[in-house]
Structure formats: structure tokens, C-alpha cells
Chain A
């Protein structure tokens, strides 16, 4: 770990100003669940750590504009137990899947959405794109946990965010401030994630001096939702694949569907083919199965991760069945 400055702003504007002073060399600290190991292992090096935990405006869950706004410092546990989010069960599913009480109590929404990839090459110091001497290590090396979609470019890792599929499937928007004081923009969450073409680009569109502050969810209405993660172990572990489904079902038939996969591509992966299969249909094990098949019809597995295509398909099928209360047998 290199020496760094530690700053603890009280307001969003102070935070933005502090982040902008060392463009590209400042890091945001929330709970530090992942940042601390990254710094200790020198995977990340930074000149300044900006601790945002004293910025009160980044906390809390409120009803706004017919939906719900969640501050990025909101913990996983707060999301799971908030009455305002009771109609969004796909979020609770994510928190349940994390399993570790410490992470549920300390980990934050913002930390999850901005979580850096768990790619073992990145974590071994080879950079986001994991290149070594002109080779893409995930391409020629062990890619059992890498992407099966969106992997034709230099990025082969999978997006680490566990909340993103569920929030995107709900049509969430995010608020970004900076780099100028009081400057803000709202945009759909699925546009927040980017697939980097260089090691410096990062995995979100946050630019130096910008801060993710809030997530807004539209009203749940009567929509149904669920997240299904395939976890290798019962303890704290990252999903091999995941899928979130939000379904608008009217008179037994699906009017609108949003299916988003996680941990299969460098970004959360919206599956229009899966959603299209469901539109106008009654959700049954068979239509859910067909949606799962459609979701992976264009998968591009690497040399050693074809099994993840099967897992992605299963994730989609089971997320749909779970959302509609049809997932049985303790699966």
C-alpha cells in the first residue's frame, strides 16, 4: 500500500471538489469492503482516498416522484428490510444471496454498483484488460469465470455488481454529480456501465471528479420481480451467473418483461430476446424455459466457460419462475 491523502468531505460538492483535484488519482471510500484489499495488495494505487461516509445526503431511502430514491451509502441490509422496497423482491433476493452478515451490514449500494471486476488476472495486477506481453490472458489462459457475452473486445471480465441486474430490470435511473459544483445528471442505470477499451477507462462512465449519489426506482405497481443467482457455495461467494426478471403481468399474460443477466459480460447484460419470448404469453415452466434458451442464443463462450452458458440459461428460467411464484423444489 502506498501512502495516500485521506479526505472526509461533509457535502456532495466538497466530495466532488476533492475528487477533481487529482484527476484519475482519487478513489472513493464508502464501506471499503473491496477497496481496502485492493489498496493493500497494490492492485489499485491512489494519491487520495475520499471517504464519503460523512456526506449525509447520500444516505436514506425516500419516496420521490411516484418511485423510490436510494442513496448510495444505503447498506444492503437497509435495502433488504426497508418497507419502501418491499414491492421490489428482486432486490431482497440479491441481499439474501450475499450470505455474509458483515457485508450485508456494511456494504453499500454504491460500492456494489461501482465494484471492480473480480477477474483473477485483474486482481493479480495485470490491469482491467488483463494483457501480458500483447496477449489477452483470459483469452489464452484460464477463463472459467469470464464473460460469455460481450467479450469480442479486449475486455473479457464480468461485471461484478450484484444489484445492477435487478435495478436495471426495474428501469432504475441514477444521479451523478460533478465535476462542477451542483452539476447533476440523471440517466438510466444500464447506460452507467461501460465496457472499457483501455485499462484506464474503468467499468462505469464516471469521469474524474464525478460521484454516483442516488438511484431512483419507478413505482413497483403490480409488477413481479425476482433475482436468481447461481452460487457455487452457500457461504460468501460471487455468483457464477445471475439473472433478474421484472414482469408486468395482466390477466395472466405478460405485457412487459425485462430480463437482465449478471456476471456474464463486462456489463450487466439486458436480454431482449428473453423478454420477447414472454410478451403476450402466460408464464409457465415451458415459456420460462424458452426464455432461458432465447437469452443464451447468442452467447459466445470462451475456451473453458461453456458451462456458464447453461448456467445463464438456468438463471433466466429460474428468475422468471421465481418472480411468478413457480420455482419449486428448493432450487
Chain B
């Protein structure tokens, strides 16, 4: 068999791949034809959740349900019901306790209300920033990391400039617009079909099958997720409410739909841990950072973990880092887009910005000077790449032309400011496999148990396969979103684009070689000389046969080949960086912030589709504006509740809040030749810090804790 080389085509030979193609499923999504898990009907459900942040359940009485019309099934979550003296301990408000399925939403709600639950209410603690209070109550514990490199005390003592400050970034939630949930339907007693909103199509079937309440063979569970309305790292599991849905459906003998209500979605379906820090940073008068000494803390809920990876990207020679976790009665943390990185970036890049102000230097110069300092760690990108990206971003922003020191802007009314920050990420391809079928008429089908959480997975697969076969996009039919297709890894950590493009390219090249072998035998040509140019198979510029004729040589069964990944063949890679810069204005009388211009420069290796890549960056920038300015899980100390767990008080930006967004990919030839790297996480990391730095530049005062709400900005100005 002819051996075709496995690589990407030279950059300028691509006609579909590496081109800005619109989403092939965009019309379905925009027109409402795309079906999400919420579009599959079933009995209506209502969850009964705990109103208390900390309590024990002393009794659960389902008997009143028999008097509620329309109720078809009820479910008590595992271990909630008292077992002798063993009582279930609730550790956060919103903990699911029971679920009711009924003919109508109102009947389900009445059913949930009819269930009688008694609690023994316990003291709660929800203050994420108050280290002292947590320690006084025995709710703080040393973090996993406590390290000293070099001699930070001496370095600080001998430094030209030393800056100390308190910084923080609050918890946010994933806030998926399509809430977590599923529609479950049984075929007989042992076959379960799940329409699940998931980032993990291939990995969740076994979780349903293995749950004690379900107890069937994994082979008998079908999980489908053709489209998903947001995941951001929170939808990898079947989740206990997914198991509840399947159990209710079995009990009722009818399909059941169970999606979290908005309050539960915000409260229990995932959050990004908070981070707070007291930091000392020291530098030489030329801006070289020599020492870092920090104590940082925060919470991921009842487990009492905190963020890590501080300091971020830049690693001064002398460092001391101490962490403390706080145990709080708050909803559980889940991976939020670039876990740890937005917090670490905020707790580092805001400090460096303050150091620049103390030095009387432009922070761009301080970042340029120090980006190569990575003592004891490996930068994912060479410093030169960061420096080139900073210069590009500075040009797009006209940073050098605009820059003025803190409080030195000559303006009245709105105060203008600039801010910047850096980030890094891995983005290595996830595990995955696929099948490609070439039909005798030359059309192509692909199958992979992957999903599209915003990557544009279908479109990218179609581009890879169409480019390989020399076909138009329309000749490739892409099938994803079922666990009955060849397994693919979960979409998390920026692993999807590499996870699907590698296997599909390998399989398509394999198939093409097999087809060329048939053509070579039939037409007596050298298979190694053949190529597919769109309509024909050609050799040395001469048409040998049409693509359809070539496919016809496969016989009535056509051809089916498998592709796998990741492999170290150069198709995919890892390790990216980026820089973001923000130009904004602050109204010092109201604390309102208006984004004027926001620039993101990013490297991501081989870009499969510039338009979709840009779309991912734009979405990330909007999320940065959200968590930078307004989005926050507000835990109320008095009630122990996530008091703003609704879309009125959990404030997200709208179009008018966004400003001008500029996306630029850093893509010299060495980036194209690097291989495909994931992009989901990196652009969401540094925007919060860049916004905070721009506000400090505008008003001359550091607003220490993100998000920078009017309250925090006015409070900072008042105490300055």
C-alpha cells in the first residue's frame, strides 16, 4: 500500500483547511432547528433543595405526595434519608434532596412542596475573603503548596523598590444558559436512552449504567448530545440529578426531563474558586523583578482547597509562596474555563502593574523586561513569542501613543486608562478516535463520539476531511454527539480541536492511500504520484479518473477506516501564550466602567479555522468583561445563601457593555508548522487582570478585588 505522509499541507496549498469557514451548523443553531437536551419532551420535574447552607436532615416524608394530582414518580437522592442515627449533612444551600416527576410543571412544583423535610440547622460559614474569621472557627487549613526559592527576605531587603498589597478575585459560576440536565427514556427494563447536556458524550454512559439505582450494562446506555448550550468545564458527569432523571423515568415508565432551575444551576452545578492574596514584590530600579512573597487563600467550598500557580508566567528568582484553604458552606467548585489560571493571572499581573506604578514605569516595559524570567519553571512559550505578541498588541492598541501614568490622563468626566496582562496554557490534544466512511459515490461520512461546546467541532472535522480528500465541504457529512460512535475524550482543557483534527486527518490520509492503491491498479499508474484535486484524481497534472470513479472502485460496500490520537506525528502540539490589553473609561462619580477597546493577541499553533478561532476568543473576552466588572457569586453571611443566584442579580454584560473587541492571531510560519493546539482556555485568562489594571490607571487607585463593581470602585476611591 502506498504510504502517504502524515502532516498538514504546506500553508498556502490549503483550500478549505486553515480557512475562515462559517459554521456548517450555524443555520441550525440560529434558526432553532438544532435540538438540545431541553428540546426532548418528558414528564416535568421539580427538584427539592435545601434552603439551609449547613444542616442535617432529620426526616423526609414523601407520603403527602399521594394526594397531589399528576405526580408520577418521586426520588430521594442517595443517603439523604436518615438511616438510624446516621443523618445526611448538608454543606451548602441548594443541595438536591428529592425530585418529583409529574404531568405538568405546576404539579411537579406542588409535589416538591408537599414533601415534608425536617432539618437540624447548623452554623454556617460562607465568607471567602475573611481569613481571620475562618481561622478563628477552625475552618482554614494549610494549602498544598508552601515553597521557598532563593532568599526572598534578603532580596526584598536589598531591592530598590518594594510594593505590598492585598488582591482578590471572587468566585463565579459557570452559568450555562442551557442548564445542566437530561431527558431520559427507557426501552424496556434494561435499555436507557439519555439526551444529556454534556461535554463528555463518550464518557458518561458508564456513569449512568453503574449507578446503583440504574444497574444496567454500559452497552445498554445511549448518550446523545448533538448540541450543548454552554458547559465551560461543568458538564463532564452524569451528575446525581442525571441519575435521578433516569430513576424517575424508570419509576414512571415514561420519558422524564430534568433540568436544573436557574437557582440550582447557579448554586450547585459548578463554580470557579475564589482567590485572595497578600503580596510583596520587589524590583531593581530598572524594572527587573527580583523577589515575590505571597500568602494566598480562597475556597472551593467544603473541601477547603484554594487556587495555585501564583506567581503566574513570570517567576522571580527569589520566591516564597504560602497557601491556605478556607472551608466554606458554598456550592462545589468545578473546572471553570482554564482552571486556576484567571485567578493566578489576576493575583500576579495586578501586582506587577502596581509595581510598575511604584517604579514610575510603563507596565508594558516591565512585562517586556521580565517575561523571560522563569526561574525554576518552564515557560510554555519562548519569551520572544510573548515579546512579539506584546509589541503587536501595543501597536493595535496604540499603547505607546496613548500611555500615561496613573492619574495623569488629561480628561474630565470619564477617566480613561490602559491595562494589560499575560497568560499561558497547554492545549494538548485529547484522546480520540473516529471512523471515516467513503461511499461508492464518493461522498464521505465521519463518526466520532465527541461534542461541540463552542469549538465548531463539526465544521473543523469537515474541513480536515474535505481538505484531505480534495472535496468540497458539502461532500462530507459529519456525525458527532453519540456514545455509539468511536470514543472521543471529553471537551475540557482545550483538548478538542487537537483531539478531533489529528484522528480525522490520519484516517482520511489512510483512506486516501487505499483509494489511490485501487486507482493505481486499475489505471496502471504509480499510487505515490496521485493526488485528489477536488473533482478528479490526478497524476503529474493529468486526470486519471474522477473522484467518483475512484470511489466506485471500492465496490458496493465502500471503505471504512479508523483514526486515532493523539500521536507524536506533528499534527498536534501544545503550549501557547497570549497578551490582552484594555482601554476603558471610568466614571469616578458612579464607579461605572465603559470598555472602549479591548485587544487580544494569541498564538495557537496551526489554526484550523480563523473565523471559529476568533469566535472562541471573542466569547472569552466577553466572559473576561463579565467576571472583570460585574459577575460574582455573592454569598450572604447572614442567611448562608448564594443570594444573587438569579439572572437579575447575577449581573452579566450585554452588547452595550462590550466595546470594540480586536482579535489578532500571532501566526508566523513557525506557528503554522507547530501543529494544532486547543484555544478554549487561554483567551479567558488575562482579561480580568487587564481590566483591573486599566481601572487603576484611569482612577489612580488600585481596586483590589475583582469584579470591579461601582461599589468597589467608589469604596476604593473613598478610602484612597
Tell me whether A and B are bound partners: yes
Where the two chains meet, the residues of A that have a C-beta atom closer than 8 Å to any C-beta of B are 1-3, 42, 99, 118, 120-121, 123-126, 132, 135, 137, 140-142, 144, 230-238, 240, 304-307, 310-311, 314, 318, 328-331
B589 touches which of A1, A3, A310 (Cβ 8 Å): A310
Q: Bound state CA distance, A124 and B646, in angstroms?
A: 10
In contact, B590 and A314 (Cβ under 8 angstroms): yes
CB contacts (< 8 Å) of B648 on chain A: these are 118, 123, 238
Q: Bound state CA distance, A57 and B603, in angstroms?
A: 64
Question: Of all chain B residues, which has the CB nearest A318?
Answer: B589
B649 touches which of A2, A120, A141, A306 (Cβ 8 Å): A120
In contact, B714 and A124 (Cβ under 8 angstroms): no
A311 touches which of B109, B634, B644, B710 (Cβ 8 Å): B710
- A-B interface, 5 closest residue pairs, ranked by CB to CB distance from nearest: A235-B654, A141-B638, A234-B656, A329-B413, A307-B714
Residues 98-129 of chain B, each 1 if its beta carbon lies under 8 Å from chain A, else 0: 00000001100110010000000000000000
How near does chain A come to B80, taking the closest CB pair, in angstroms? 21
Interface residues of B in 306-335 (CB under 8 A from A): none
CB contacts (< 8 Å) of B637 on chain A: these are 140-142
How near does chain B come to A178, taking the closest CB pair, in angstroms? 30
Residue among A121, A233, A238, A331 with the highest chain B CB neighbour number at 10 A = A233
User: Can you show 9 pairs from A to B with CB atoms below 8 A apart?
Assistant: A121-B643, A135-B638, A137-B638, A142-B643, A233-B654, A234-B654, A307-B711, A311-B710, A328-B413
CB contacts (< 8 Å) of A99 on chain B: these are 654, 656
B412 interface hit (Cβ, 8 Å): yes
B215 interface hit (Cβ, 8 Å): no
Q: Bound state CA distance, A202 and B589, in angstroms?
A: 34
Q: Bound state CA distance, A231 and B655, in angstroms?
A: 15
Residue among A42, A120, A140, A144 with the highest chain B CB neighbour number at 10 A = A120
How near does chain B come to A73, taking the closest CB pair, in angstroms? 24
In contact, A232 and B109 (Cβ under 8 angstroms): no
How near does chain B come to A97, taking the closest CB pair, in angstroms? 12
A232 touches which of B413, B592, B715 (Cβ 8 Å): B592
How near does chain B come to A133, taking the closest CB pair, in angstroms? 9
Given A124-B641, A235-B652, A307-B710: 7 more A-B contacts, CB < 8 Å: A118-B648, A120-B636, A120-B649, A235-B654, A304-B711, A305-B711, A330-B414
Question: Of all chain A residues, which has the CB nearest B109?
Answer: A1
Q: Bound state CA distance, A240 and B105, in angstroms?
A: 34
B587 interface hit (Cβ, 8 Å): yes
CB contacts (< 8 Å) of A144 on chain B: these are 711
B686 interface hit (Cβ, 8 Å): no
Given known contacts A141-B637, A329-B414, A307 and B591 CB-to-CB distance under 8 angstroms: yes
Q: Bound state CA distance, A141 and B644, in angstroms?
A: 13
In contact, A307 and B715 (Cβ under 8 angstroms): yes
How near does chain B come to A296, taking the closest CB pair, in angstroms? 13
Q: Bound state CA distance, A1 and B641, in angstroms?
A: 22
In contact, B711 and A124 (Cβ under 8 angstroms): no
In contact, B643 and A120 (Cβ under 8 angstroms): yes
Where the two chains meet, the residues of B that have a C-beta atom closer than 8 Å to any C-beta of A are 51, 105-106, 109-110, 113, 412-414, 587, 589-592, 630, 634, 636-639, 641, 643-644, 646, 648-649, 651-657, 709-711, 714-715, 718
How near does chain A come to B363, taking the closest CB pair, in angstroms? 27
In contact, A42 and B109 (Cβ under 8 angstroms): yes
CB contacts (< 8 Å) of B413 on chain A: these are 328-331
CB contacts (< 8 Å) of A121 on chain B: these are 639, 643
In contact, B715 and A141 (Cβ under 8 angstroms): no
Q: Bound state CA distance, A236 and B653, in angstroms?
A: 10
How near does chain A come to B228, taking the closest CB pair, in angstroms? 24
Q: Bound state CA distance, A121 and B158, in angstroms?
A: 53
How near does chain A come to B615, taking the closest CB pair, in angstroms? 21
Given known contacts A1-B106, A142-B636, A233-B657, A124 and B587 CB-to-CB distance under 8 angstroms: no
CB contacts (< 8 Å) of A306 on chain B: these are 715, 718
CB contacts (< 8 Å) of A328 on chain B: these are 413
CB contacts (< 8 Å) of A331 on chain B: these are 413-414, 587, 589
In contact, B654 and A236 (Cβ under 8 angstroms): yes
In contact, A142 and B590 (Cβ under 8 angstroms): no
In contact, A235 and B109 (Cβ under 8 angstroms): no
In contact, A235 and B638 (Cβ under 8 angstroms): no
Q: Bound state CA distance, A42 and B263, in angstroms?
A: 13
CB contacts (< 8 Å) of B630 on chain A: these are 232-233
How near does chain B come to A239, taking the closest CB pair, in angstroms? 11
Q: Bound state CA distance, A304 and B592, in angstroms?
A: 18
How near does chain B come to A309, taking the closest CB pair, in angstroms? 9
How near does chain B come to A83, taking the closest CB pair, in angstroms? 28
CB contacts (< 8 Å) of B634 on chain A: these are 142
In contact, A124 and B113 (Cβ under 8 angstroms): no
Given known contacts A235-B654, A236-B654, A310-B589, A142 and B638 CB-to-CB distance under 8 angstroms: yes
CB contacts (< 8 Å) of B655 on chain A: these are 234-235
In contact, B657 and A120 (Cβ under 8 angstroms): no
Q: Bound state CA distance, A318 and B109, in angstroms?
A: 47
In contact, B590 and A230 (Cβ under 8 angstroms): yes
CB contacts (< 8 Å) of A140 on chain B: these are 637-638
In contact, B710 and A230 (Cβ under 8 angstroms): yes
Q: Bound state CA distance, A2 and B105, in angstroms?
A: 10
How near does chain B come to A90, taking the closest CB pair, in angstroms? 19
In contact, A310 and B718 (Cβ under 8 angstroms): yes
Given known contacts A123-B646, A124-B639, A329-B413, A314 and B711 CB-to-CB distance under 8 angstroms: no
Question: Of all chain A residues, which has the CB nearest B713?
Answer: A307
CB contacts (< 8 Å) of A304 on chain B: these are 711
In contact, B589 and A314 (Cβ under 8 angstroms): yes
CB contacts (< 8 Å) of B651 on chain A: these are 232-233, 237
Given known contacts A240-B710, A306-B718, A124 and B656 CB-to-CB distance under 8 angstroms: no
How near does chain B come to A190, taking the closest CB pair, in angstroms? 26
CB contacts (< 8 Å) of B412 on chain A: these are 329
CB contacts (< 8 Å) of B644 on chain A: these are 120
In contact, B714 and A310 (Cβ under 8 angstroms): yes
In contact, B639 and A137 (Cβ under 8 angstroms): yes
Q: Bound state CA distance, A203 and B320, in angstroms?
A: 56
Given known contacts A232-B710, A234-B657, A306-B718, A2 and B110 CB-to-CB distance under 8 angstroms: yes
In contact, A141 and B639 (Cβ under 8 angstroms): yes
In contact, B711 and A235 (Cβ under 8 angstroms): no
CB contacts (< 8 Å) of B652 on chain A: these are 235
CB contacts (< 8 Å) of B109 on chain A: these are 1, 42
How near does chain A come to B623, taking the closest CB pair, in angstroms? 15
In contact, A311 and B714 (Cβ under 8 angstroms): yes
Residue among A135, A304, A311 with the highest chain B CB neighbour number at 10 A = A311
CB contacts (< 8 Å) of B715 on chain A: these are 306-307
CB contacts (< 8 Å) of B714 on chain A: these are 307, 310-311
CB contacts (< 8 Å) of A137 on chain B: these are 636, 638-639
How near does chain B come to A244, taking the closest CB pair, in angstroms? 17
Q: Bound state CA distance, A301 and B258, in angstroms?
A: 43
CB contacts (< 8 Å) of A307 on chain B: these are 591, 710-711, 714-715, 718
Q: Bound state CA distance, A234 and B593, in angstroms?
A: 10
B653 touches which of A3, A126, A233, A311 (Cβ 8 Å): A233
CB contacts (< 8 Å) of B106 on chain A: these are 1-3
Q: Bound state CA distance, A311 and B591, in angstroms?
A: 9
How near does chain A come to B698, taking the closest CB pair, in angstroms? 14
How near does chain A come to B489, taking the closest CB pair, in angstroms? 36
CB contacts (< 8 Å) of B653 on chain A: these are 233-235
B657 touches which of A123, A125, A235 (Cβ 8 Å): A235
How near does chain B come to A243, taking the closest CB pair, in angstroms? 12
Q: Bound state CA distance, A314 and B413, in angstroms?
A: 12
In contact, B113 and A311 (Cβ under 8 angstroms): no
Question: Of all chain B residues, which has the CB nearest A310?
Answer: B714
Question: Of all chain A residues, which has the CB nearest B263?
Answer: A41
Question: Of all chain B residues, which has the CB nearest A144?
Answer: B711
In contact, A311 and B654 (Cβ under 8 angstroms): no
Question: Of all chain B residues, which has the CB nearest A237?
Answer: B651
In contact, A311 and B636 (Cβ under 8 angstroms): no
CB contacts (< 8 Å) of B718 on chain A: these are 306-307, 310
Q: Bound state CA distance, A314 and B587, in angstroms?
A: 11
Q: Bound state CA distance, A328 and B638, in angstroms?
A: 42
